[in-house]
């Protein structure tokens, strides 16, 4: 048994339930003749090893309770959008959804991290048909949702990969280049948004 204890089998089920719920939100929007909310979703359960490492790093006991209640990203979904405005459109839908409540928001888009990382993180408290660590059924579980554009996502993937390369000799320069790249991509996101608005207003005038 892992740090997730009896939840080893249940977390993947919560992950797929949440994914389906988000896909349904998107379908409702599309059925209403609005553009799709996102380009694609990436869903994962944090590996038990990575979760145990996180608990230790944060000074929590390495227990199921810490993994599911203190850390709140055992179940994580990344919503990758075409345009910056789509992130806000997703948030509007999630705020209205009756199956979850947003309990924490971190806006790394307005306030990018010093290394250039951009993304919008929320923690939701979701009701699911499983017994939770407090013994309630239906139970409530935390899910972390990261919302970002394709450009932000490609940058984060590259930067994440760099973290695991131990033979880098010029880390400072690479950090500077990565930051510059993040800023250029952010500027492209704004340009793309403007182009989309121009196309939309041209459509309306026809
Ligand atoms: P993985 O495998 O992606 O899950 P908390 O203090 O608990 O509220 P937490 O979770 O420590 O917050 O930090 P935060 O900043 O809210 O989010 C952490 C997650 O965001 C990371 O998860 C990454 O997915 C992503 N992230 C945050 N900063 C960076 C960054 O600088 N670069 C990249 N590439 N990703 C980042 P994990 O647990 O690291 O890994």
**123 CA to centre of ligand 1 in angstroms:** 12
* Cα 87 versus chain centre, distance: 11
Query: Which atom of ligand 1 lies closest to the CA of 71?
Result: 7
| DSSP states along 88-150 | HHHHHHHHH-TTEEEEEEEETTTT--TT----EEEEEEEEESS--TTS-SSEEEEEEEEEEEH
Q: Measured between alpha carbons, how far apart are the two ends of the chain, in Å?
A: 62
Going residue by residue through the chain, which has 206 residues, state the pLDDT in tens, using 9 for 90 and above.
899 999 999 999 999 999 999 999 999 999 999 999 999 999 999 999 999 999 999 999 999 999 999 999 999 999 999 999 999 999 999 999 999 999 999 999 999 999 999 999 999 999 999 999 999 999 999 999 999 999 999 999 999 988 877 788 888 898 999 999 999 999 999 999 999 999 988 877 77
What's the complex ipTM? 0.94
- The verdict on pTM exceeding 0.90 is yes
Determine which helix (DSSP H) or strand (DSSP E) holds 78, and give its type and residue range: strand 75-81
CA 43 to ligand 1 center in whole angstroms: 15
Distance 202 CA to ligand 1 centre (A): 40
| CATH numbers and ranges of domains, the chain | 5-156 (3.30.460.10)
């Amino acid at each position: 048994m892992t740090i997730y204890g009896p939840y080893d089998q249940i977390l993947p089920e919560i992950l797929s339930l949440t994914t389906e719920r988000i896909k349904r939100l998107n379908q409702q929007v599309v059925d209403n003749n609005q553009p799709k909310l996102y380009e694609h979703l990436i869903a994962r359960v944090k590996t038990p090893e990575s979760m145990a490492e996180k608990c230790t790093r944060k000074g929590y006991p390495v227990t199921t309770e810490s993994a599911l209640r203190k850390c709140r990203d055992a179940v994580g979904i990344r919503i990758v959008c075409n345009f910056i405005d789509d992130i806000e459109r997703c948030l509007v839908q999630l705020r209205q959804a009756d199956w979850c409540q947003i309990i924490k928001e971190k806006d790394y888009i307005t306030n990018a991290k010093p290394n250039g990382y951009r993304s919008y993180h929320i923690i939701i408290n979701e009701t699911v048909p499983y017994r939770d660590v407090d013994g309630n059924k239906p139970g409530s579980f935390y899910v972390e949702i990261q919302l970002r554009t394709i450009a932000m996502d490609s940058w984060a993937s590259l930067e994440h990969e760099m973290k695991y390369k131990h033979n880098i000799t010029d880390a400072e320069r690479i950090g500077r280049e990565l930051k510059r790249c993040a800023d250029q991509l952010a500027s492209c996101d704004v340009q793309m948004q403007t182009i989309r608005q121009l196309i939309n207003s041209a459509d309306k005038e026809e």
